[in-house]
C-alpha cells in the first residue's frame, strides 16, 4: 500500500430478511463505498453490481475461510463488506470474523465494524402480530455446529421457563428427522394447544404465514426458508393476528 491510498476497512453487514426497504441506510452506505463484497452466493446476489465493485460469492460453507479472505483484502487496503442475511450477529458471519481475529494482532488493528440488520424472527413476528411481545429466546435448530442433545436440553429448559421461542434453520434435506424430534419435545413440554407460527420467506414475494397449534403442526410446514415461532402459555390470537401479552403470571 502506498501512502496515497485510503486505509482499508471491513464491515460485517446484515441485509435484512429480503425486502430492499428493510436494508438499513448504514448498510446501503457501506455497500456504496465498498470495493469488495464477500458472502454466501444467495446473499451476494442481493447486492447490485456496479463499476469498481468486485463481488466474491462463495458456496464455501467454511465461514472461517471466508472471514480470513475478507480480512486479507481489508489488510491490503480494500473496503470490504461481508454480507449475511438478516443480522450478521445472529447465526451468521460476525462471529466467524471475530474467531478469525484470534491470535492475529495485525488483523485486530484493522478498522472493523458490525452493521446490524433486521433478523428473520423480528420480521416474522411483525408479520404475524407480536408473538415475541414478552420474554423470549432464540435457538438454532441446526445440529451442524452442536450435538442434538444440546438442542433438546435447551428446548426443554426454554419451554419450562415459559419463554416464547424463535427457531432458525428448522429443517433441511440432510436432517429431515431433527424438526420432527423438536416438535415432539415441544408437545411434551408445552401441550398440544400451544400456538406455533411458520413464517416462510418473510418480506419477499414468496412470504407465507401459517399459525396452527402444536397438535396440528407437521414437519413439512417448515423448510430452510422458514423461521418458526412458538408462543408462551399466554400467546393467543386476536383477529388475524397472534400476540403475547405484555404481562405474565
| Among 240, 191, 200, residue whose Cα is nearest residue 220 | 200
d(CA 13, CA 32): 13
Write down the residue that cell numbers 403442526 correspond to: 217
**Is residue 180 at the binding interface for ligand SAH, with CB under 6 A as the rule?**
no
Give the Cα separation of 196 and 141 in Å (integer). Answer: 15
Pairwise CA distance, residues 242 & 22, whole Å: 22
**Using CB under 6 A as the criterion, what x/- string covers residues 33-72 for binding ligand SAH?**
----------------------------------------
Of residues 197, 211, 226, 232, which one binds ligand SAH by CB under 6 A?
226
Q: Applying CB under 6 A, which part among 31-39, 106-114, 193-201, 235-243 lies near ligand SAH?
A: 193-201
Stretch that binds ligand SAH, among 62-70, 101-109, 154-162, 195-203 (CB under 6 A): 195-203
Site track 122-151 with ligand SAH (rule: CB under 6 A), x = hit: --x---------------------------
SS3 80: strand
Residues in the chain: 249
Cell of 18: 429480503
Binding site for ligand SAH (CB under 6 A): 17-18, 84-87, 90-92, 119-120, 124, 168-170, 199-204, 224-227
Amino acid at each position: 500500500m502506498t501512502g496515497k491510498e485510503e486505509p482499508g476497512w471491513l464491515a460485517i453487514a446484515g441485509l435484512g430478511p429480503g425486502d430492499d426497504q428493510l436494508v438499513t441506510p448504514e448498510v446501503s452506505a457501506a455497500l456504496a463505498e465498498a470495493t469488495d463484497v464477500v458472502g454466501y452466493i444467495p446473499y451476494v446476489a442481493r447486492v447490485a453490481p456496479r463499476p469498481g465493485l468486485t463481488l466474491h460469492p462463495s458456496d464455501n460453507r467454511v465461514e472461517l475461510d471466508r472471514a480470513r479472505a475478507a480480512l486479507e483484502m481489508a489488510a491490503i487496503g480494500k473496503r470490504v463488506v461481508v454480507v449475511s442475511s438478516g443480522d450478521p450477529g445472529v447465526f451468521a458471519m460476525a462471529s466467524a470474523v471475530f474467531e478469525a481475529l484470534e491470535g492475529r494482532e495485525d488483523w485486530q488493528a484493522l478498522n472493523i465494524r458490525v452493521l446490524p440488520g433486521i433478523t428473520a424472527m423480528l420480521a416474522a413476528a411483525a408479520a404475524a402480530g407480536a408473538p415475541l411481545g414478552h420474554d423470549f429466546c432464540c435457538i438454532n435448530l441446526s445440529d451442524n455446529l452442536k450435538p442434538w442433545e444440546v438442542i433438546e436440553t435447551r428446548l426443554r429448559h426454554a419451554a419450562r421457563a415459559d419463554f416464547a421461542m424463535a427457531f432458525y434453520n428448522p429443517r433441511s434435506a440432510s436432517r429431515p428427522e431433527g424438526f420432527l424430534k423438536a416438535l415432539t419435545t415441544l408437545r411434551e413440554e408445552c401441550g398440544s394447544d400451544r400456538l406455533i407460527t411458520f413464517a416462510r420467506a418473510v418480506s419477499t414475494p414468496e412470504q407465507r404465514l401459517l399459525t396452527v397449534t402444536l397438535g396440528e403442526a407437521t414437519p413439512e410446514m417448515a423448510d430452510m426458508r422458514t423461521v418458526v415461532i412458538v408462543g408462551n402459555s399466554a400467546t393467543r390470537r386476536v383477529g388475524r393476528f397472534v400476540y403475547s401479552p405484555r404481562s405474565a403470571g
